Amino acid sequence: MTQSMFPPPSDFPEYNPEDPSGVGVYTKRPDLQGDRPPGLIDLRRYMFQMGMSGIQTFLGSPMALTPADLRAAEVDVAIIGAGLDFSYGMRGSAYGPKMVRNGEIYMPPGYGTPNQHTRVDPITDLVIADYGDAPVNNMSLYASIEPIRELVREVAEAGTMPFIVGGDHSLMYPDLAALADVYGKGKIGVIHFDAHYDATDAGLGLNLTHGTPVRRLIEEGHVSGHNFIQVGTRGWAPNDKDLGWMRDHGFRYHNMPQVDKFGWDWVMERAIEEASDGTDYLYISMDMDTFDPAFAPGTGTPEPNGLTPREMFPILRRLAAEKNVIGVELVELNPFADPTYTTALVANRVIREVMTGIAMRKRGITEPYYFATEAIDGGQGQDWPPRSV
């Protein structure tokens, strides 16, 4: 037998979160931990710049780099890039955060860009910060997990909602585990939008891939299976064994067969009702492949017969407005498969719709399926509702 020049994996030095031993991707800049006055860092030199100008940040937001910055500025939502893409067998989603930062086309914060359905402007109403990128070790998925979990946890502990932009869906494990660290095991319900169920036991012999985070989270007790609500699943899975495991653990799923049989409104109402059933908090996990590939080709595992933006945007806005959302992730964006820029555009709007819902909740607008009167009266004022259609 030929002797390999590489040692077996068991002989590799293990990553030790207590002693990163100079691995720079985990080591925080010492000067950021010192006496620097905390607060938001605005990267604009001039008062006005178009979306394509200047250093690109999520939604054109100012930067925050430490939990002290989040606390000093009372940041509502911190958007974190997590460029991790080892775990679906092809690369590209590591560049997802860059794609979303570059996808901003609107005017800078403060110029008034309200959501037309609700007339709420989340960019004005909320304090949103770009929290930079998570510490990803691009040599190892497993070595990346605990550092990412620690970063998400520090944001939640500062009283700020983390919004993670991936990266592949293995991120759901560190993201949700971090929130369970802060809010408690079994306290968080998950609404999981995806073409796939992501609850299999292993991929190519590894227990953490973008197809396994749901299984790991439930096995470790971070979330109860009963509080996992899956929406948009379709295609050629799960197999009987995995479906049996899901049913044994009390999963509730609203797949495309249900949408076909009962219609989107029926599914949306039930998913929203179930999303906070028995839990104090809600986490939204949004895989871009939930959308039909016509609307989001730039993803690793596209699956035809998906949902449309017209179906997805209202449910995202509603969940954030009507439920106690404490974290969001948007994953599986692959710019290398997005030649028409469509996926970047839809991803930007996913973030804006969720932010609109969060801003509505902050204003106290939690009425189910709220529309602003001036948005739907067609300019007719008192002549609303219409007497005839």
Which residue number, 69 or 287, has a Cβ lying nearer to Mn ion? 287
Which residue number, 104 or 198, has a Cβ lying nearer to Mn ion? 198
Q: How far is the CB of 18 from Mn ion (least distance, A)?
A: 31
What is the rounded CA–CA span in Å between residue 362 and residue 321?
Answer: 8
286-305 residues in contact with Mn ion (CB under 5 A) are 287
Buried b (16+ CB within 10 A) or exposed e, 62-82: bbbbbbbbbbebebbbbbbbb
- Say how many residues touch Mn ion, by CB under 5 A: 4
Break the chain down into helix, strand, coil percent, rounded to 5.
35, 15, 50
Give yes or no for a contact between 131 and 65, defined as CB atoms under 8 angstroms apart.
yes
Does the footprint of Mn ion cover residue 194 (CB under 5 A)?
yes
What is the rounded CA–CA span in Å between residue 151 and residue 79?
Answer: 12
**Residue 21 half-sphere exposure toward CB, CA atoms < 13 A:** 4
Does the footprint of Mn ion cover residue 192 (CB under 5 A)?
no
Q: How far is the CB of 104 from Mn ion (least distance, A)?
A: 25
Which residue number, 169 or 187, has a Cβ lying nearer to Mn ion? 169
Which residue number, 76 or 198, has a Cβ lying nearer to Mn ion? 198
Nearest C-alpha neighbor of 120 from the set 379, 367, 380? 367
Which residue number, 69 or 198, has a Cβ lying nearer to Mn ion? 198
Does the footprint of Mn ion cover residue 322 (CB under 5 A)?
no
Q: How far is the CB of 70 from Mn ion (least distance, A)?
A: 28
Q: How far is the CB of 234 from Mn ion (least distance, A)?
A: 12
Which residue number, 321 or 350, has a Cβ lying nearer to Mn ion? 350
Structure tokens given for 288? 């871009």
Give yes or no for a contact between 270 and 263, defined as CB atoms under 8 angstroms apart.
no
Which residue number, 135 or 213, has a Cβ lying nearer to Mn ion? 213
Does the footprint of Mn ion cover residue 329 (CB under 5 A)?
no
Does the footprint of Mn ion cover residue 76 (CB under 5 A)?
no
What is the rounded CA–CA span in Å between residue 291 and residue 172?
Answer: 18
Which residue number, 97 or 108, has a Cβ lying nearer to Mn ion? 97
Q: How far is the CB of 230 from Mn ion (least distance, A)?
A: 10
99-138 residues in contact with Mn ion (CB under 5 A) are none
Q: Which stretch binds Mn ion (CB under 5 A): 84-92, 121-129, 186-194, 362-370?
A: 186-194
Judged by phi (left if over 0) then psi (alpha if -120 to 50, else beta), residue 250 lies in left
Q: Which stretch binds Mn ion (CB under 5 A): 38-46, 91-99, 188-196, 245-253?
A: 188-196
Does the footprint of Mn ion cover residue 169 (CB under 5 A)?
yes
What is the rounded CA–CA span in Å between residue 110 and residue 76?
Answer: 16
Give the burial class of 38: count Cβ atoms within 10 A of its Cβ; 0-12 exposed, 13-18 middle, 19 or more buried: middle
Does the footprint of Mn ion cover residue 168 (CB under 5 A)?
no
**At which residue do the structure tokens 């939990």 appear?**
67
Q: Which stretch binds Mn ion (CB under 5 A): 111-119, 151-159, 279-287, 342-350?
A: 279-287
Interacting residue with Mn ion among 69, 198, 322, 338 (CB under 5 A): 198
In sequence order, the 6+-apart residues with CB closer than 8 A to the CB of 213 are 169, 170, 171, 172, 173, 176, 198
Binding site for Mn ion (CB under 5 A): 169, 194, 198, 287
